[in-house]
Amino acid sequence: MTAATRARRSSAWAAVLGIALAAGLVPAASAAEPQVAASRLEAPMDDIAVIDPPVGASADTTPMLLVLDAERIEPTMARLSILSRARTWDRVTVHDVELERDDLDARWLVGLGDGRFALVATSPTTATGTGDAVVVGLAVRPEAGALTIVETGRSRMDRAIEESAAADVDGLGTAELVLGTRPLYDASGSCGKTSLLILDSATSSVRRSIEIPGRLGGGVVGRFDAAQGDDLMAFAAVDCPPGGAGGTHLVTIRLRDGTHTDVIDKGLVGDVSVIAPPLRLRTDDAGPDHALVALGDEMAVVDGRGDSPRTVAKVPGIPLVAGPDADAAGPGVRVAWLGTRGVEALRLRLEQGGRIKVTNHQVLRGDEIGPDRWQLVIAASAADVQIHGVASAWLGALADEGCPDLVLPGAIEPCGSAELRAGATWVATRLVTAMPIEGRRTALIAAGIAWDPKVGIPTSPTPWAAAPPGWWRRGPSTPFVVSETRGSDVVYFRDFPVPKATIEETTARDGSTKLPGFTGTRMFVSVQPLADDANVPEPPASELDGLIRPAGTDAVVRTVRVPVPPGNESGRDGAFTTLDLGDIHVPGSETTARWGLRVVPINDWGEVGAPVAGAITRDAVGPTLNLETPFTAPIWPFLSHLSGRTEPGSTVKIEGGDPLDVDQRGRFTVVTRLAPWPQDIRLTATDESGNTSVAAFSLVGGVDYRRFPWALIIAVTLLVVVAARGFRRAGGVEATAWSTGVLDEASMPEIEELPPGSGLARR
């Protein structure tokens, strides 16, 4: 059954839980966009497993990690790496596995103990037909002081693989690989059978095939009867679609010989593919196991013999986690589930005569978690269980070795507390393991980076390192990255930080934009390319709405992450991540200038921030560019230091020279020699968008005489000259012999007498 089909049936969960959740909460694992990561843990992964330290190593030795890369170096290749923790996680070994086919895109690991693993590569559930698969046996061995990965065998199959588990089939202490194949339909369209294949862990060859009528659903591996070896307890449908839904029942299958035992033979309500898997209850290594099972409107404990179920709580729910919980009274089991009232946990003790003693029953109500966060917890847990068969929950020592902590979606019960309180939601996130790193207990957290809002809320990753006891694994994990955090932070935080998202107004010239956030924050982005007259998408009504509904019918979804620097812990610093929009266009257009965005941030605690929406426009304007042009400057051959400024993040280059140093505020300095006459300095500034600005600045060494007010100077000079001449005229008469009084008789003019009328004119 495909993920989309499961999504359509997810409304069954809402009915079981009594909560009105919209159908379509179950996502299909979509391929994440790989980003270049500075930290090896930031590179996308398909799976991760822990390699235990060698025998005799100190308790503070940090284990190594076996990683199945999500990057496809070649369509037919799978890359495995061994990471070792020094100051950071470094790749010390690389091994490429040839899969021989290019359509085996669903890949995961199964640990078989003692450094042995199986790599399963199969046709995904979205592929039609019966599919194909390859199983490769791997061993991690020390050679010449280093660990190497060695292929120990392989099997090729003409049926896709949908489930897998490690099981001690013969009861001899060695785990074998158990595979559940895709159901084979007959010509009439009825559901014929499901094959269980038992593979030898040493050679990966098929030892046994067990044919199961109908289809298997969720299950768990354990010792459920008195016979030697492990069994598979699973929900099964005798007759399944497309031939018609038949009665669902709970059955145990002895893996040693294929013997079937009906645990609950009455028809159960619900399709086999959406019923939550049982949880194995094991108190010690002696005697058969039991299982915690959701049976319609109650949580019950069942055995493998077919005895009547023993009710633990009259409440419908989703089993979350179970594990050993010994106290002064003896061995016990701690169990938790998600019910209609909230998150519940209790301690079980299996007593003689089949009696069950229940103690320390705790309930954290949904309203104590918070209405919005409670809706997220319900939706995410239902999706995790339906898609992967396991919820995002943890029971183990985080802060103190040997002191188990119970970490659940929306709740936590720290070791020694005996009381549930509100905790992180763990949406699209999972605790993987806890280990000593640099002298303290450190938790590794897997953050999912795949999302398809048209199908549902993003699921939590399911790496093998986080496998619960008896895990009947349902397909591959969601692609993920890994970060470190202090184990004490998970335990002692009461108010987990909630991330925020911000949308800038413009992109870079190439259509990329920066999204700020604390390290480890993932931005789940729905992008709607906008025409010039298109409206901006409205903000989602809630966090859940933002994760299950895209911005528009032609929206494109992207998941980006603020990377965590190598060796650092998540959430400690602020940084940026880059979102590329340049390849997202309006249908029929080769370029787009506007986009509508919806962004939902989720941090490594699985805390979901308030969604934001807005429009962003492509930036095509060059940066501002200014340079100081002083009135006086050192003259050649002395150096002048000229201050300039541009937009922060831009680069500046002087014509014919090298790029200049620009600080975080956009300031820079031009160092040059200036001649005593005008000369131009040409600068080019380029912003982070690739937009450029060119400017020329004219300067003069010494005194920039061009800045003198020559017109005013000339006007003032002329006025001064004219004023001076006027002053001299108004102040006296030019000195002459008359004015000085030095005239004498000799200086007197002679008077000549003329004859009368000689000088007169006559008419």
Residue 569 neighbours by CB under 8 Å, 6+ apart: 483, 484, 485, 486
For residues 342 and 340, give the distance between their C-alpha atoms in angstroms, rounded to a whole number: 6
Regarding whether 589 and 639 lie in a shared domain, the answer is: no
- 642 token code pair: 């000229």
Regarding whether 587 and 650 lie in a shared domain, the answer is: no
Regarding whether 668 and 592 lie in a shared domain, the answer is: no
Q: Where residue 686 sits, what CATH number does that domain have?
A: 2.60.40.10
Q: How many domains are contained in the chain?
A: 2
Residue with tokens 């005996």: 418
pTM: 0.80
The domain boundary residue, chosen from 689, 707, 725: 707
Out of 4-13, 126-135, 512-521, 585-594, pick the least confident: 4-13
pLDDT of residue 239: 63
Regarding whether 559 and 663 lie in a shared domain, the answer is: no
pLDDT higher than 70, residue 519: yes
Q: Where does the pLDDT of residue 204 fall: very low under 50, low under 70, confident under 90, or very high at 90 and above?
A: very high
- 260 token code pair: 């079937």
Structural domain includes residue 433: no
Closest-CA residue to 389 (of 547, 241, 275, 240): 275
The domain boundary residue, chosen from 575, 596, 618: 618
For residues 574 and 88, give the distance between their C-alpha atoms in angstroms, rounded to a whole number: 20
Q: Where does the pLDDT of residue 405 fall: very low under 50, low under 70, confident under 90, or very high at 90 and above?
A: very high
Out of 73-77, 140-144, 153-157, 517-521, pick the least confident: 140-144
pLDDT of residue 428: 96
* Partners of 451 in beta bridges: none
Q: Where does the pLDDT of residue 738 fall: very low under 50, low under 70, confident under 90, or very high at 90 and above?
A: very low
Chain-wide mean pLDDT for the chain?
84
pLDDT higher than 60, residue 759: no
> What does the DSSP assignment read for 584-647?
---TT-S--SEEEEEEEEE-TT-PBPPPEEEEEEE---PPPEEE---SEEPPTTSEEEEEEEE-
For residues 495 and 364, give the distance between their C-alpha atoms in angstroms, rounded to a whole number: 16
> What's the rounded mean pLDDT across residues 343-358?
84
- 581 token code pair: 């929009």
Closest-CA residue to 241 (of 196, 183, 162): 183
Q: Where does the pLDDT of residue 473 fall: very low under 50, low under 70, confident under 90, or very high at 90 and above?
A: very high
Out of 316-325, 576-585, 669-678, 717-726, pick the least confident: 717-726
Regarding whether 517 and 577 lie in a shared domain, the answer is: yes
pLDDT of residue 752: 54
Q: Where does the pLDDT of residue 269 fall: very low under 50, low under 70, confident under 90, or very high at 90 and above?
A: low
For residues 731 and 648, give the distance between their C-alpha atoms in angstroms, rounded to a whole number: 68
Regarding whether 641 and 541 lie in a shared domain, the answer is: no
For residues 361 and 4, give the distance between their C-alpha atoms in angstroms, rounded to a whole number: 37
φ, ψ at 728 (rounded to 5°): -65, -35
pLDDT higher than 50, residue 29: no
pLDDT higher than 90, residue 522: yes
pLDDT higher than 60, residue 755: no
Regarding whether 591 and 647 lie in a shared domain, the answer is: no
Structural domain includes residue 119: no
Q: Where does the pLDDT of residue 507 fall: very low under 50, low under 70, confident under 90, or very high at 90 and above?
A: confident
End-to-end CA distance of the chain: 146
pLDDT of residue 304: 81
pLDDT higher than 90, residue 521: yes
> What's the rounded mean pLDDT across residues 77-81?
96
pLDDT higher than 80, residue 286: no
Q: How far is CA 322 from CA 315, 422, 432, 460, 733, in A?
A: 18, 19, 16, 18, 126
Q: Where does the pLDDT of residue 189 fall: very low under 50, low under 70, confident under 90, or very high at 90 and above?
A: low
What three-state secondary structure class fits 702?
A: strand
Structural domain includes residue 2: no
Q: How far is CA 142 from CA 54, 146, 721, 758, in A?
A: 10, 5, 103, 153
* Partners of 574 in beta bridges: 518
What is the domain range of residue 682? 625-707
Regarding whether 595 and 630 lie in a shared domain, the answer is: no
Positive or negative: CA dihedral 539, 540, 546, 548: negative
- 731 token code pair: 């102040």
Q: Where does the pLDDT of residue 756 fall: very low under 50, low under 70, confident under 90, or very high at 90 and above?
A: low
Out of 1-15, 165-179, 545-559, 744-758, pick the least confident: 1-15
Positive or negative: CA dihedral 598, 381, 165, 245: negative
pLDDT higher than 70, residue 356: yes
Structural domain includes residue 680: yes
pLDDT of residue 84: 95
Tally Cβ neighbours within 10 Å of residue 705.
12
> What's the rounded mean pLDDT across residues 640-655?
89
Predicted confidence (pLDDT) per residue in 618-635, tens digit: 876 778 889 888 888 888
Structural domain includes residue 398: no
Residue 716 neighbours by CB under 8 Å, 6+ apart: none
Regarding whether 589 and 516 lie in a shared domain, the answer is: yes
Regarding whether 669 and 604 lie in a shared domain, the answer is: no
Structural domain includes residue 592: yes
Q: Where residue 562 sits, what CATH number does that domain have?
A: 2.60.40
Regarding whether 630 and 597 lie in a shared domain, the answer is: no
pLDDT of residue 551: 82
Q: How far is CA 468 from CA 120, 251, 280, 412, 480, in A?
A: 19, 20, 9, 18, 18
* Partners of 561 in beta bridges: 522
- 34 token code pair: 């790989």
> What's the rounded mean pLDDT across residues 435-452?
94
pLDDT of residue 32: 39
- 129 token code pair: 């037909």
Closest-CA residue to 693 (of 643, 661, 646, 642): 646
Out of 20-29, 424-433, 493-502, pick the least confident: 20-29
Percent of the chain, pLDDT > 90? 48
Structural domain includes residue 391: no
pLDDT of residue 8: 36
What three-state secondary structure class fits 251?
A: strand
For residues 577 and 603, give the distance between their C-alpha atoms in angstroms, rounded to a whole number: 13
The domain boundary residue, chosen from 707, 734, 750: 707
Structural domain includes residue 694: yes
pLDDT higher than 70, residue 19: no
| Helix, strand, coil percentages in the chain from 3-state DSSP, rounded to 5 | 10, 40, 45
Regarding whether 687 and 672 lie in a shared domain, the answer is: yes
